[in-house]
């Protein structure tokens, strides 16, 4: 077990190095750099621009720039963002926390809703209620989360009363602790709804699909014949057997915790990692791009590890013994 | 309706969608790039059956829209003359499948009235025509990218799950690398490397292929977990004991299981790939104007003033919903046919 | 007699008393030089606007976060917006009248040859930390701005004839500026050149670390300025707050010290739409640089939501289509072949004649824009050439011009050049700018009506700039420029053939065409012309040449659209930047700030 974990840890480190190196390599291929925009401004001379370039270290060769970034990581700063004029580490932590607040809330609510709905639907498969739920779920699935977010935003604009973007009010820093929490929750409502509605259909479909397959299995039919009740059937027997691929799905949910909300964050101005990455790419702020990519990778790895672990525990058939 | 007939119906509908892509010129009442600069942001044209004098017409008719003086997006109906809907009128010329020329359309109204079933956009272009013509680009691109991603994912996930141990580790690590990198960044480099003379549509298709090629990682992981479990099942062990080769076992016993997951993934990926174009067009990687694609139509809806004032710009987005429903129904059909082996 | 000699109450003879008094005073004055300076009464600048009430806060949204509070190295717009409020300059251009006015300098004289300006400073002025301001700070400030190691963005603007300005302190409140050549810009030179506190920044400057000073994380007590507000707080990612500067040197007519507002808070809203939403919801108090379409959407709710919108007419911005006339490499032969037509003035004039500018104004800007003939818009009241008229659209004239350019119609009905190559080209445009994309779409349709096939190539912004500025790998591009002061010298870099923003043909060692050569001559001449009417004539001529030869095919200039809460008093937005906050020291709330959430 420990050997397995150590191997995974080593692989993870290699992954981090590979991702960061690859992204730095891309900077040579992607046109334009951070200061390109300033070149259109008549107020800044070419020589001042060159001085700025030197000051930001943009004129150094690739290996030097990569090495400087590594040193910054070792120091704990994880790079220096040119766009925000501060170390990447704290910026990432803050933004990642915002994203997690949104995605964890939405994911928890979605899973809590998906499992019962999927199970209920699977139990009544073929009947009208199942089909009706199916249509609603599929319609929701087919509705792009962009439109979902925009629709909710439109309602908020028209109806009023709900904040229409951002995470905090302008007066936030003057609030007491309780008022601050309330302020964030009020701002969280709309994005979380949108995200929850966006990820719910997939989960419901998967839950229902795997449960349906399991419910057709002989051992379930047998249990039913004995007289085991529907609820017990589903929750104690079927769900267990359907653990795979549900656990993978859970793992993927965790893995995508930092990326699923990108569109919604962008539309609703939620200060998370998604908009940060898009802004960083547009601004060619390479330290920030790498920082966000690595943060996402952390979650990716954690999610995958979780999925693999759960798979190992839940489905003995999947244990990877050698043949 | 029974499941099988429902499935067949869905397949028929999907075929109809792709047929409409070919027949777009005929089905759409107007040329998708034709601008009507005096009719920008016109709401969907109202169909009437009863005219001002109370007379019932057998054919639905419309009134011509006249811009209200002093405004930019308010229109009044000119009730002096009704324009009935005509079948197979002459209209803008087109080429079906880029080969067969024609100028008859399925329906339309006489000039100067306009039949905007879904309203018009900021240049006065008919949104309904653009939606129909958009079926030539977006569904094809989305399907292509999704199929690529799922096929590659199926193969790699299958191999990884089946052979396990080192192969599995290596392939899954590669999958993680692919999932970790923000590919949008590389796509910028790709676009910059492409020649200027490339039609934006070709650049877009290339980008779509790239999305497909890098999108295999997620399906691969799902397939792999299913295969890992399937390969130790009894019937697999039995087949092995009879001396079945790896490939045969993979193909006949394990693959159907994996196919189920793959098909679900396919149904999910197609819409995602179609909608990825919205982000891509923001970065200059989408289909260029004036070609209609659902992605660039949706990108236009994202602006506040559109949200606040022109609700009909949402309609093309909502029109995607039935299409995606059809895709899911079709994948269900495939699922049953290929996986469950039932009619 | 004894009664005739004057005595004080105590019986001292008066002369002795006077002598003692004088002696004490002399002693006090000699020993206490600093305090005597501080006892100097403040010479305020008295503003002439409506008198308002003190109190309240202003919330302003910005599209990106400010990056620094250091006036010496500031380069980005949001930081400059903040620094404009925390610093003061010697002579300030009134954004409303577009003319220079006394600021920290209460008066000045200019020598007849235009090379020496002598400024008299206001007395008794203090920095926001209470320390006095005098000529030493001025001399120090200019030394810093002109330091070659720091290479401030201001440095080039201040160098005249290749040599820095010589700054000399005459006395405590008088400073003399010597220029190598007379500068037509004159005292506009001093606008937004922020005066720095010597007592705070000199030690850092001598150590060579001034460029790193006054970052956003600096303690407020370390920063001192002469603006109406001073730095109070910065919360990364959330807000930047400024508080009233208690030592600000302006008062209103009633003698109350400005500014009226207690606080100005800057928050970030990442896009124009986000800014509009916040403004509409009452979370922001002013709105600047809003687009015409959002403006129209906001107009509907004006009355019910308590804000007022203003259309200030054309600003300084201009949008243009231009062709790649750069010297190209061998690998770019396809583009070079097309330069045969791009280089023909008749071709460019044909394209210009075919474009329906009125449709652009109507469809893209809802009528809130002005078609342009040249680069100096009607909003630049002091410099616009009133003779120039935007070309009316004429497809007939366009076709005639194309024929003059030597193109003919091929058998297929398409235009081909003398070599039989079909006339088609691509226009590069910023993918994330919907307004420019809309213009490009309209132009594409217009040009197709005269038989020119145009492809629109949306590109990501920096990738596009890379092509235009570095690789020159493009055929035509659509951009907008403008802003700044409006003075001809501020556009020097665009019109000089060697200028870094001479976008259509960069890196010229000598002017490529006779008219570019003529423009060079005129631009250089106007920079030193002291006679305003001669200068205007020269610049009018430049505008005429540009409008005739069309290196840029000018499209439209959007109107400046702003908004504010209705209760905001003295809101007098201007066309010059900073459009809504230039008179932030005069803004006030007519009613007490509403609601606890504020």
Q: Residue C206 gets which letter from DSSP?
A: H
> What is the per-residue DSSP string for A272-323?
SHHHHHHHHHHHT-HHHHHHHHHHHHHHHHHHHHHHHHHHHHH-GGG-----
C415 shares its domain with C490: yes
CB contact under 8 A, B308 and C293: no
Q: Supply the pLDDT for residue C5.
A: 47
Q: Is the pLDDT confidence value at A186 over 80? A: yes
- Which residues from B are below 8 Å from C362, CB to CB? 37, 72
CATH assignment of the domain containing C511? 3.10.105.10
CATH assignment of the domain containing C100? 3.40.190.10
C491 shares its domain with C570: no
- The residues that bridge with C426 in the sheet, in sequence order, are C455
Residues ≥6 apart with Cβ < 8 Å to A20? A66, A69, A290, A293, A294
Does some domain include residue C441?
A: yes
Residue in the block written with tokens 């194309």: C402
Domain count, chain C: 2
For chain A, the farthest-separated pair of C-alpha atoms sits apart, in whole angstroms, at: 86
Identify the three-state secondary structure at position C384.
coil
Q: Is the pLDDT confidence value at B253 over 50? A: yes
Does some domain include residue C597?
A: no
- pLDDT category at A253 given cuts 50, 70, 90 is confident
Q: Supply the pLDDT for residue B250.
A: 65
* Chain B residue closest in CA terms to C274: B304
Q: Supply the pLDDT for residue C324.
A: 95
- Which residues from B are below 8 Å from C430, CB to CB? 284
C501 shares its domain with C577: no
Does some domain include residue C312?
A: no
pLDDT averaged over consecutive 10-residue blocks of chain C (598 residues)? 44 56 53 44 78 90 90 90 94 90 92 90 92 94 91 81 87 92 85 93 92 89 94 86 94 89 90 85 89 88 87 93 93 87 91 94 92 91 89 90 81 72 89 90 91 88 91 93 82 88 90 93 89 92 94 94 93 91 92 51
Indicate the range of A89-93, A286-290, B238-242, C77-81 predicted with least confidence: B238-242
Does some domain include residue C137?
A: yes
Q: Supply the pLDDT for residue A321.
A: 47
**What are the tens digits of pLDDT across the range A117-138?**
888 887 777 788 888 888 888 7
C509 shares its domain with C571: no
C498 shares its domain with C578: no
C345 shares its domain with C263: no
Q: How many Cα atoms occupy the beta-carbon half-sphere of C304 within 13 Å?
A: 7
Distances (CA, A) of A48 to A3, A69, C150, C497: 55, 25, 9, 20
* Listed residue (B93, B260, C148) closest to A242, CA to CA: B260
Work out the number of other CB atoms within 10 angstroms of the CB of residue C518.
Answer: 15
> 3-state SS string over C41-61?
CCCCEECCCCCCCCCCEEEEE
* Listed residue (C109, C140, C106) closest to C122, CA to CA: C106
- Which residues from C are below 8 Å from B197, CB to CB? 334, 426
More confident residue, A40 or B340: A40
Taking each continuous run of H as one helix and of E as one strand, the counts in chain B are: 14, 7
How far does the CA of residue C426 sit from the closest CA of chain A (Å)?
A: 19
Residue/partner pairs of C96-100 with CB below 8 Å, 24 or more apart: C96/C572, C96/C574, C96/C582, C96/C583, C98/C381, C98/C382, C98/C486, C98/C576, C99/C382, C100/C186, C100/C187, C100/C188, C100/C190, C100/C191
Interface partners of chain C (CB pairs < 8 Å, 3 or more) are: A, B
- Residues within 8 A of B (CB atoms), A 108-127 only: none
C326 shares its domain with C249: no
C383 shares its domain with C491: yes
- What percent of chain A shows pLDDT beyond 70? 89
What pTM was estimated for this model as a whole?
Answer: 0.85
- The residues that bridge with C311 in the sheet, in sequence order, are C561
Question: For residue B96, what is the enclosing H or E element?
Answer: strand B90-96
ipTM: 0.82
* Interface with B, mutate which of A33, A137, A160, A245 (most B CBs under 10 A): A245
* Surface-to-core class of residue B243, CB atoms within 10 Å of its CB (0-12 exposed, 13-18 middle, 19+ buried): exposed
* Chain C residue closest in CA terms to A40: C501
Work out the number of other CB atoms within 10 angstroms of the CB of residue C378.
Answer: 16
Domain ranges of chain B: 138-286
* Residue A135 to residue A175: CA distance in whole angstroms: 45
C259 shares its domain with C359: no
How far does the CA of residue B170 sit from the closest CA of chain C (Å)?
A: 36
C209 shares its domain with C344: no
- pLDDT category at B149 given cuts 50, 70, 90 is very high
Distances (CA, A) of B50 to B59, B282, C276: 10, 45, 43
Does some domain include residue C523?
A: yes
C283 shares its domain with C332: no
* Residue C467 to residue C472: CA distance in whole angstroms: 5
> What is the per-residue DSSP string for C298-330?
HHTTHHHHTEEEEEEEE-S-EEEEEE--S---G
- To 5 degrees, how large is the angle CA C380–CA A40–CA C210? 100
**What are the tens digits of pLDDT across the range B30-65?**
988 888 888 889 999 988 888 878 888 888 888 888
Residue in the block written with tokens 């004995």: A226
Work out the number of other CB atoms within 10 angstroms of the CB of residue A322.
Answer: 6
Q: Supply the pLDDT for residue C519.
A: 94
CB contact under 8 A, A292 and B182: yes
Token output for B256:
């159907």
- Which residues from B are below 8 Å from A252, CB to CB? 218, 221-222
Q: Is the pLDDT confidence value at A244 over 70? A: no
Q: Supply the pLDDT for residue C412.
A: 64
> What is the per-residue DSSP string for C502-556?
-TTS-S-SS-SSHHHHHHHHHHHHHHH---HHHHHHHHHHHHHHHHHH-SEEE-E
- pLDDT category at A323 given cuts 50, 70, 90 is very low
CB contact under 8 A, C153 and A43: yes
Residue B305 forms contact with C (CB below 8 Å): yes
Q: Residue B291 gets which letter from DSSP?
A: S
Which CATH number, 1.10.10.10, 1.10.3720.10, 3.20.20.100, 3.20.20.140, labels domain B138-286? 1.10.3720.10
- The residues that bridge with C352 in the sheet, in sequence order, are none
* Interface with A, mutate which of B182, B234, B306 (most A CBs under 10 A): B182
* Residue A287 to residue C496: CA distance in whole angstroms: 37
> What is the per-residue DSSP string for C223-277?
---SSSEEEEEEETTTEEEEEE-TT-SEE-TTSPBSP--SEEEEEE-SSHHHHHH
* Residue A132 to residue A270: CA distance in whole angstroms: 34
* Residue C402 to residue C345: CA distance in whole angstroms: 10
Instruction: Select the residue of A86, A160, A173 nearest C238 (Cβ to Cβ).
Output: A173
CB contact under 8 A, A320 and B221: no
Interface partners of chain B (CB pairs < 8 Å, 3 or more) are: A, C
Residues ≥6 apart with Cβ < 8 Å to C35? none
- Structural domain for C273, as ranges: 2-306+566-589
- pLDDT category at A241 given cuts 50, 70, 90 is low
**What are the tens digits of pLDDT across the range B257-313?**
788 778 878 877 887 788 777 778 777 777 777 788 887 788 777 777 777 788 888
Residues ≥6 apart with Cβ < 8 Å to C531? none
- Residues within 8 A of A (CB atoms), B 72-131 only: none
Q: Supply the pLDDT for residue A220.
A: 75
Tell me what the mean pLDDT of segment A1-9 comes to: 82
Does some domain include residue C168?
A: yes
Q: Residue C13 gets which letter from DSSP?
A: B
- pLDDT category at B116 given cuts 50, 70, 90 is very high
Q: Supply the pLDDT for residue C595.
A: 40
C229 shares its domain with C368: no
Does some domain include residue C271?
A: yes
């Amino acid at each position: 077990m420990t050997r397995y974990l150590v191997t995974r840890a080593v692989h993870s480190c290699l992954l981090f190095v590979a991702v960061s190196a690859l992204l730095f390599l891309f900077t040579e291929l992607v046109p334009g750099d951070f200061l390109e925009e300033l070149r259109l401004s008549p107020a800044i001379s070419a020589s001042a621009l060159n001085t700025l370039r030197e000051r930001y270290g943009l004129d150094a060769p690739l290996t030097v720039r990569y090495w400087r970034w590594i040193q910054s990581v070792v120091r704990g700063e994880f790079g220096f963002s040119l766009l925000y004029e501060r170390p990447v580490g704290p910026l990432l932590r803050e933004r990642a926390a915002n994203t997690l607040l949104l995605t964890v809330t939405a994911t928890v609510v979605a899973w809590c809703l998906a499992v019962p709905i999927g199970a209920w639907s699977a139990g009544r498969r073929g009947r009208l209620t199942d089909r009706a739920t199916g249509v609603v779920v599929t319609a929701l699935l087919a509705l792009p989360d962009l439109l979902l977010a925009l629709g909710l935003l439109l309602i908020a604009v028209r109806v009023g009363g709900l904040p229409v973007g951002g995470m905090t009010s302008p007066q936030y820093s003057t609030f007491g602790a309780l008022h601050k929490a309330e302020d964030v929750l009020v701002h969280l409502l709309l994005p979380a709804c949108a995200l929850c509605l966006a990820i719910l259909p997939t989960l419901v479909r998967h839950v229902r699909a795997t449960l349906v397959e399991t419910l057709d299995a002989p051992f379930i039919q047998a249990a039913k014949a004995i007289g085991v009740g529907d609820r017990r059937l589903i929750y104690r027997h079927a769900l267990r057997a359907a653990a795979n691929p549900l656990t993978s799905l859970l793992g993927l949910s965790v893995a995508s915790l930092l990326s699923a909300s990108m569109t919604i964050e962008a539309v609703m101005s939620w200060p998370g990692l998604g908009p940060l990455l898009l802004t960083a790419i547009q601004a060619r702020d390479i330290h920030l791009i790498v920082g966000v990519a690595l943060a996402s990778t952390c979650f990716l790895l954690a999610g995958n590890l979780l999925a693999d672990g759960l798979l190992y525990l839940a489905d003995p058939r999947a244990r990877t013994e050698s043949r | 309706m029974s499941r099988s007939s429902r499935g067949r119906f869905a397949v028929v509908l999907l075929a109809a969608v792709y047929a409409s892509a070919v027949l777009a010129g005929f089905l759409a009442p107007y040329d998708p790039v034709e601008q009507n600069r005096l009719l920008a942001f016109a709401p969907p044209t109202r169909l009437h059956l009863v005219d001002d004098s109370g007379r019932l017409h057998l054919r639905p008719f419309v009134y011509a829209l006249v811009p209200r003086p002093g405004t930019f997006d308010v229109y009044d109906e000119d009730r002096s003359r009704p324009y009935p809907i005509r079948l197979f009128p002459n209209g803008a010329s087109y080429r079906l499948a880029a080969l067969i020329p024609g100028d008859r359309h399925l329906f339309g109204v006489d000039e100067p009235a306009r039949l905007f079933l879904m309203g018009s956009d900021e240049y006065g272009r008919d949104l309904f025509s653009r939606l129909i013509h958009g079926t030539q680009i977006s569904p094809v691109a989305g399907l292509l990218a999704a199929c690529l991603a799922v096929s590659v994912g199926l193969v790699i996930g299958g191999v990884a799950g089946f052979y396990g141990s080192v192969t599995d580790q290596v392939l899954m690590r590669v999958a993680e690398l692919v999932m970790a990198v923000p590919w949008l960044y590389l796509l910028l480099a790709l676009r910059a490397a492409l020649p200027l003379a490339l039609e934006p549509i070709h650049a877009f298709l290339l980008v779509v292929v790239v999305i497909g090629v890098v999108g295999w990682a997620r399906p691969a992981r799902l397939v792999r977990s299913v295969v890992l479990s399937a390969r130790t099942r009894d019937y697999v062990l039995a087949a092995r004991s009879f001396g079945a080769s790896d490939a045969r076992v993979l193909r006949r016993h394990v693959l159907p299981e994996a196919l189920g997951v793959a098909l679900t993934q396919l149904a999910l990926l197609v819409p995602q790939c179609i909608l990825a174009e919205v982000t891509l067009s923001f970065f200059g990687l989408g289909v260029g104007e004036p070609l209609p694609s659902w992605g660039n139509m949706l990108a236009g809806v994202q602006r506040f003033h559109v949200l606040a004032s022109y609700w009909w710009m949402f309609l093309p987005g909502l029109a995607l919903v039935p299409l995606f429903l059809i895709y899911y129904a079709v994948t269900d059909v495939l699922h049953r046919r290929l996986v469950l082996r039932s009619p | 007699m004894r009664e005739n000699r004057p005595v004080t109450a105590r019986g001292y003879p008066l002369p002795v008393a006077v002598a003692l008094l004088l002696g004490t005073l002399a002693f006090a004055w000699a020993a206490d030089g600093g305090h005597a300076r501080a006892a100097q009464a403040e010479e305020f600048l008295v503003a002439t606007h409506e008198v308002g009430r003190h109190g309240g806060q202003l919330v302003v949204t910005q599209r990106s976060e400010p990056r620094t509070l250091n006036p010496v190295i500031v380069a980005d717009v949001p930081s400059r917006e903040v620094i404009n409020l925390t610093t003061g300059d010697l002579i300030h251009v009134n954004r409303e009248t577009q003319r220079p006015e006394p600021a920290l300098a209460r008066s000045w004289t200019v020598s007849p040859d235009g090379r020496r300006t002598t400024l008299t400073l206001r007395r008794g002025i203090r920095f926001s930390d209470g320390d006095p301001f005098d000529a030493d700070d001025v001399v120090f400030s200019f030394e810093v701005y002109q330091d070659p190691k720091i290479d401030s963005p201001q440095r080039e603007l201040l160098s005249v004839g290749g040599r820095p300005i010589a700054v000399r302190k005459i006395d405590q409140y008088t400073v003399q500026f010597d220029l190598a050549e007379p500068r037509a810009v004159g005292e506009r030179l001093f606008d937004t050149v922020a005066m720095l506190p010597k007592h705070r920044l000199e030690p850092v400057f001598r150590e060579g670390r001034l460029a790193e000073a006054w970052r956003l994380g600096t303690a407020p007590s370390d920063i001192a300025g002469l603006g109406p507000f001073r730095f109070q707080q910065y919360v990364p990612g959330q807000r930047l707050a400024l508080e009233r500067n208690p030592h600000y040197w302006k008062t209103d007519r009633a003698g109350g010290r400005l500014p009226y507002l207690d606080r100005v808070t800057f928050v970030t809203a990442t896009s124009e739409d986000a800014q509009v939403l916040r403004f509409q919801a009452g979370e922001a108090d002013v709105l600047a640089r809003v687009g015409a379409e959002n403006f129209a959407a906001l107009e509907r709710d004006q009355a019910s939501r308590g804000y007022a919108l203003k259309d200030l007419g054309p600003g300084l911005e201009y949008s243009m289509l231009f062709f790649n006339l750069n010297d190209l490499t061998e690998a770019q032969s396809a583009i070079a072949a097309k330069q045969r037509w791009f280089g023909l003035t008749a071709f460019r004039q044909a394209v210009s004649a075919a474009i329906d500018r009125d449709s652009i104004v109507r469809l893209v800007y809802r009528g809130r824009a002005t078609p342009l003939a040249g680069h100096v818009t009607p909003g630049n009241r002091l410099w616009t050439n009133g003779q120039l008229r935007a070309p009316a659209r004429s497809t007939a004239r366009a076709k005639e011009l194309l024929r003059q350019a030597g193109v003919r119609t091929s058998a297929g009905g398409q235009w081909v050049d003398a070599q039989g190559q079909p006339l088609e080209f691509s226009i590069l445009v910023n993918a994330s700018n919907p307004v420019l994309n809309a213009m490009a779409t309209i132009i594409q349709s217009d040009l197709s009506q005269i038989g020119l096939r145009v492809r629109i190539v949306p590109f990501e912004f920096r990738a596009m700039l890379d092509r235009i500025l570095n690789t020159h790998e493009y055929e035509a591009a659509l951009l907008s420029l403008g802003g700044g002061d409006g003075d001809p010298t501020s556009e020097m870099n665009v019109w000089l053939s060697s200028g870094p923003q001479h976008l259509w043909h960069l890196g010229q060692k000598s002017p490529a065409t006779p008219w570019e050569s003529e423009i060079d001559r005129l631009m250089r001449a106007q920079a030193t012309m002291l006679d305003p009417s001669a200068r205007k004539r020269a610049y009018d001529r430049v505008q005429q040449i540009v409008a005739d030869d069309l290196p840029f095919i000018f499209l439209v200039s959007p109107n400046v659209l702003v908004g504010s809460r209705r209760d905001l008093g003295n809101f007098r937005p201007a066309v010059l930047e900073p459009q809504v906050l230039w008179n932030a020291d005069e803004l006030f709330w007519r009613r007490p700030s509403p609601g606890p959430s504020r």
